[in-house]
Structure 1
Amino acid sequence: MEKLSMAATIFCAVVLAALAAAGGEAAVVEHTFVVHEMNQTHLCNTTKIYVVNGQLPGPTIHVTDGDTVVVHVVNRLPHGLTIHWHGVRQIRSCWSDGAGFVTECPIPPGGKHMYRFNVTGQVGTLWWHAHVTCLRATVAGAFIIRPKGGRYPFPTPAKDVPIIIGEWWQLDLVELDKRMHDGNFADNPLSATINGKLGDLKNCSGKPEESFVLDVVRGETYLLRIVNTALFSEYYFKVAGHTFTVVGADGYYLTPYKTDMVTVAPGEAIDVLMAADAPPAHYHMVALANQPPEPDPQIPGFDSRGLVRYAGSSHNNNGLPVSTPLMPSQHNTMPSYYFHNNLTGLAHPDRHRVPMDVEERLYFTLGLGSICRNGTKTCQRRRSRETIVVATMNNVSFRHPTNTSLLERYYDGRTSGLYTEDLPDHPPHPYNYTDRALIPPGPLEEALEPMFKATKLRRFRYNTSVEIIFQSTALLQSDSNPMHLHGYDFFVLAMGIGNYNPKTDPEKFNYHNPQLRNTVQVPRTGWAAVRFVTDNPGMWYLHCHFEFHIIMGMATAFIVENGPTPETSLPPPPPEFKRCGSNGLTQP
């Protein structure tokens, strides 16, 4: 009976979306997500994983600009979870953002919850994922927003195809989360995946793993919607014998940019056109994880391989080897910097104007540090067993609530003892943030390593223009940092390598046609400058999208106050919102 109900729900959603596209009217798109456990066997091992409706990746949600989305989530896991609609602006619907312990308490085992929100003013690819523990490694899927009337600023593709890049973990994801909370990030996935497939580069006892196959017709153009759902790594993506035209990212159009390789960081969604203009044959696609070189901590190389297969080509590719793209070194992170720095927005000056008069300027350093175990004030540093490695913003490692919601308590005015609103504007102790001697074995890191944990937020008045300079550091490691802000898109004005120079680097800012993004890839030992206006009241999570960074504390939340009118204020919780006590969690 439940299967029939779910099928009917999906059928109704498809019909309503089709009618809306034809008639130009907004629709209500409704889905049911049943989250449950199931087993999958890869590399000679059977692993328990967590999925939605038996699918890996999870179901794709298709909507049109202006639609209302309703998703009924049924939690059949033995763990609580929330679902976050990554990149959806959630205008005046912060209650549906789905950030665990920030905007809501998790849906308890056996519980149900309904998310309802509107999608307006965004077009392209976003995604959804679990936002409690590491479950987003498998509880995730694409969220596709089509333009009204099907009008693109480029030739309409023959087909659009989600390309979900992820990772295969043999370790239970809940156990992985516990280990990361203890400062342990020595665990690694076994493989990269493309649309849930490990690819034929991996095998067990001589039997290759299954590959994702994209069937194409020569002469047609395909819109690839590339999303990185991985917990650990940024990925390079190529298809042998083909080039791409990048046309969008994070739900907005970009100035068309031609390239033979796409770089996609965790949290990012990149839209590219691929013309099937090669001789009919088989061609490999490859997703390769990059990582900093030594002396950074090293992890195994991860990649996955799929297949582009032309109609009319023989089953065995005429006995010829299948072309494989030439990939960069996994330790060369500069292609990521050049890719992201070359993207610009498709200018819409009537709708999207960069705020020129900045009222709040923030400078956030991003890096690692340590705290002493057992609450002691002094301990041996340099990754000794007496310390826990933490991730930080301006020397603060965010202490996540564990039994209440920041938004609920803020709305009720019961915040005493839960958080403070004094996250520093600037790092408390300036130093040479990108000095490679800060990476162990150092020895300069020891004096800078001590950090502290606290729940420190920032509050902004409604309609305030904000500039943030994100500065990646080399403290304990020199990784990049994909920073994601809930509830907002920001203009990426510029990025650079090295330490940000407030006197000379603003001369590089692009005020004409910057990218409008919800996730910015702050380069390894580099910086990125973003601006936005606080026009969406609520409680909005800001965090790095590397899972080990967010769990270890590279996060905060922005409080945006109500505006002067009901239309510029956060409404009360909707009827379907379940307060923390009703979710089976006790409140302090």
Structure 2
Amino acid sequence: MLSRHGVHQRRTSWADGPAYVTQCPIQPGGNYTYRFTIIEQEGTLWWHAHASWLRATVYGALIIHPKQGSSYPFPQPYGEFPILLGEWWNANPIDVLNMALRAGAAPKVSDAFTINGQPGDLYNCSSKDTEIIPVTQGKTYLIRLISSAMNEHLFFSIANHKLTVVAIDASYTKPFNTSVVMIGPGQTTDILITTDQPPSHYYMAAHAYASSPNVPINNSTTTAILAYQNVRTQRGAPIFPALPAYNDTPTVTRFTSGLRGLSFPHPPIRTVPKEVDENLFFTVGLGVNRCHRRRRCGTANGLNTTASMNNVSFVLPTNLSILQASYQGVNGVFTSNFPSFPPVEFNFTGNVSRRYWTPKRGTEAYRLKFGTRVQLVLQDTGVWMMHCHVDSHLTWGLAMVFITENGVGELETLEPPPPDLPRDRLDWLVLF
């Protein structure tokens, strides 16, 4: 189950990838070819496994270059390279997940962060395999930064080099300069750097950002080396960047405040409806459920940690994907009663009734007619999962599904399922 993160699926929702949402899992030893067309998109995206915690090690870059004859909205860089940030556990990530689920508590934090699969030379075990990026002095390079981290937001910086942000999630931005980038799980950032420093070796590094003071984090740092070519002798260690403190929220605010959209190559003509067909108000949060009677949960109150949207904790089906069930009219796989409003519109001044502390569990979707005007614009027919990309939150149920019904005519109708769409196998993988 591979999800092409951010690719618009035009009538090909079958190729979106999440297990038991748009397809059943690919069986061990099996194969499946995803077929889709990329239309009106360019930039940096990525692909990853979308079942259980398999994406901890199964991921890669998906780069869409400008069409032939087109150009970037900035000078053509001399070269480019992808930088994929990740998390590493010394244990099997699936075992880490299962232990957390059995205990009803948060999963163990990762043991290291990685750059292009390597923790870097701050670790004895990986110092010889540290990622080295060769560059030529006086040139401009495009860095395609991708965060495939599981649970942590990350600060990223390169020693003594100015970073110019030019795109976020395959959408061009007005260029702005910064010394540090903050990137969340699942996000991508395109950065221009100019190698205008004295020839030497410079660290690029990343470590965690966390705004919650009481949540354990991985406090390690991953490194790679930006290596100027024709350096005769490197004296001492590479120069290290000044990374912010793990809780430096003002730096995050300055970074996010600098993001502005760029209309390229010309301002697009968009008409915004003056009337809305449906008002949807979604809240997200953490809660607790009673622990299974046959096990002991590890939280302070002996309860099971959950996450929810509108006080519903999402549960994946285990025998058929939601898209298949919707397309074939199969009952008993999901319900269409996801609430459009939360049970309580909390204003941060009062108390919430104890009966809302425990979110209900269910496989619930919200149905919309094709062309329905909502504040959240849904393109394409099919089934679309909206979820938190912090995987511990997703594991606890912070997700829901939109089902967009067919419209009028072929171009507004979901294509039939591919003949080789993976079939169900109940005994392979129940957890997501």
**Same fold per TM (> 0.5)?**
yes
Deviations 1:329-365 (A, max 9, x none): 1022343333223212212543555555433332222
Conserved 8 A contact 1:290-1:330 = yes
Question: 1:542-569: per-residue Cα shift (whole Å, max 9, x none)?
Answer: 1000010111100011000111111111
User: Cα offset for 1:306?
Assistant: 1.3
Counterpart pick for 1:268 among 187, 193, 197: 187
CA distance in 2, matches of 1:91, 1:115: 13
Question: Whole-Å Cα distance in 2 between the matches of residues 548 and 231 of structure 1?
Answer: 8
Partner of 2:413: 569
Are positions 1:545 and 2:389 aligned together?
yes
Residue 202 (1) aligns with residue 202 (2): no
User: Do 1:105 and 1:583's aligned partners in 2 also have CA atoms closer than 8 Å?
Assistant: no
Match of 1:246 in 2: 165
- C-alpha offsets along residues 438-485 of structure 1, whole Å, 9 cap, x if unaligned? 9xxxxx897753222111111111122322xxxxxxxxxxxxxxxxxx
CA distance in 2, matches of 1:96, 1:365: 28
- Count of matched residue pairs: 425
Return closer, same or farther for 1:354/1:192 CA change in 2, 3 Å cut-off: farther
1:456 to 364, 369, 386: 364
Q: 1:311 to 1:351 in 2, by over 3 A?
A: farther
Q: Which residue of 1 aligns with 2:290?
A: 372
Structure with greater proportional strand content = 1
Q: How far off its partner does 1:382 sit?
A: 7.2
The partner residue of 2:201 within 257, 275, 282 is: 282
CA contact 1:167–1:189 (8 Å) conserved in 2: yes
Are 1:421 and 2:329 an aligned pair? no
2:260 matched residue in structure 1: 344
Q: Counterpart amino acid of 2:89? A: W
Contact preservation (8 Å) 1:382, 1:446: no
Verify the 8 A CA contact 2:112 2:218 in the aligned structure 1.
no
Shift of 1:310: 0.8
- The Cα shift of 1:100 comes to 0.3
Amino acid at match of 2:141: Y
1:192 has 2:108 as partner: no
Superposition CA RMSD, Å: 2.7
Contact kept in structure 1, 2:385 and 2:400, CA below 8 Å: yes
Q: Is the 8 A contact 1:541 1:556 kept in 2?
A: yes
Matched, 1:310 2:310: no
SS in 1 for 2:94: helix
Give every structure 1 segment of 4 or more consecutive aligned residues whose post-TM-superposition deviation is greater than 6 Å.
379-382, 444-447, 581-586
1:249 touches 1:268 (CA, 8 Å); kept in 2?
A: yes
Query: Distance in 2 between the 1:401 and 1:302 partners?
Result: 37
Question: Deviations 1:371-403 (Å, cap 9, x if unpaired)?
Answer: 112389xx9997422x21001111111011122
Distance 1:351 1:269, change over 3 A: farther
Partner of 1:127, secondary structure, is strand
In structure 1, the residue matched to 2:134 is 215
Q: Is the 8 A contact 1:230 1:266 kept in 2?
A: yes
- Structure 2 portions without partners, runs of 5+: none
Segments of 5+ residues of structure 1 without an aligned counterpart are: 1-81, 439-443, 468-530
Spell out the pairing of 1:132-151 with structure 2 (5 A cutoff): 132-149=51-68, 151=71
Amino acid at match of 2:174: T
Answer yes or no: is the 8 Å Cα contact 2:106–2:305 preserved in 1.
Answer: no
Change over 3 Å in CA distance of 1:434–1:395 after alignment to 2: farther
Secondary structure, aligned partner of 1:397: strand
* Inter-partner Cα distance in structure 2 for 1:396 and 1:403: 21
1:357-396 matches, cutoff 5 A: 357-374=275-292, 383-385=300-302, 387-396=303-312
Q: Relative contact order (alpha carbons < 8 A, sep ≥ 6): 1 or 2 greater?
A: 2
Matches within 5 A, 1:425-440: 425-433=340-348
Q: Give 2:8's aligned residue.
A: 89
Q: Sequence identity of aligned pairs in percent? A: 37
Name the structure 2 match of 1:559.
403
Of 416-425 and 211-220, the range deviating more from structure 2: 416-425
Checking the alignment, whether the CA contact within 8 Å between 2:208 and 2:217 is kept in structure 1 is: no
Distance in 2 (alpha carbons) for counterparts of 1:279 and 1:227: 27
Question: Does residue 85 of structure 2 align to residue 165 of structure 1?
Answer: yes
| Residues 239/136 of structure 1: CA separation in 2 closer, same or farther (3 Å cut) | same
- 1:580 aligns to what? 424
Q: Which whole-Å CA distance do the structure 1 matches of 2:180 and 2:418 have between them? A: 44
**How many Å apart are 1:160 and its aligned residue?**
1.2
Distance 1:434 1:255, change over 3 A: farther
